[in-house]
Amino acid sequence: MRPFARLRVFAIALAFSSLSQAADKLTLMTENYPPFNMSIEDKNFARESGIDGISTDIIREMMKRTQFEYSMTLRSPWNRIYEMTRKKANYGLFSTTLTEERKPLFKWVGPLVENGWGIFKKAGSSIEVSSLEDLKNYKVGGYKGDASTEFVKSKGIKVIETALDKHNAEKLAIGRIDLWVSSRFTAHHIAEAAGVDTPVAIHSLKSVDLYLALNLNTPDSTVKKLQSALDSMKKDGTTQDLIQNYL
């Protein structure tokens, strides 16, 4: 083979190799949902080391153990990055609640950590709630596209939705909503970041698990390796150590 021909073959092989590596790289998307994933500077956009949180640290350790190449971006709104992950190969989304409706839409790695949903009121409010039915008597705020909001709506409750969850904390503080659907871990972090008083939990909805959701075109071998890494982290105590850093 002539030197020029060999060089051309090498260039083509290198190009295909680069395309393969690019295709294998995971693009991980997240949002501000403290303490699970959040911008260090409390902004609605961050990359790589500008993101921390329980789930973030767990996923970074998973990537380290599997040696997968990846990028990590935090942005909003949730609905946008949710749809991006559904449509784009090798995209992943966290922290994502696994529901029956979402289950066939992604490939799943987890659970990463347990979460809990609840109903919150403004400190000093006299409102009491003993059942979901009671919510029909009040203006209830929720985060648009969030599983907790969808759960409450599925029970026939009207929810006033916002594109950013901190707006719910602000609206609760000034009386524009009476109650707020949120996470028992997340609500006080969001209220603190919004500069308002910590809301009071008055009713527990349910406990749920948070996952890494991967686009359906993600290779099964990738999903299996990530799940194996997570399982080993739980077995050797790494996951619990990372959780304790925030709780």
Query: Which residues of the chain, if any, have pLDDT below 70?
Result: 1-23
Angle at 23 between CA 94 and CA 52, to 5 degrees: 30
Predicted confidence at residue 2, as pLDDT, reads: 57
Q: Which domain holds residue 164?
A: 116-207
100 and 36 both lie in a single domain: yes
94 in the same domain as 20: yes
User: Which tokens belong to 62?
Assistant: 């998973």
Are residues 215 and 98 both part of a single domain?
A: yes
Kindly state whether residues 36 and 90 are assigned to the same domain. yes
Q: What is the pLDDT of residue 247?
A: 78
Amino acid identity at 148: S
Residue pLDDT, tens place only, 96-111: 999 999 999 999 999 9
Q: Which pTM value belongs to this model?
A: 0.84
Question: Do 16 and 109 have their domain in common?
Answer: yes
Interval 9-45: pLDDT, tens: 444 444 444 333 445 799 999 999 999 999 999 899 9
Predicted pLDDT at 16: 41
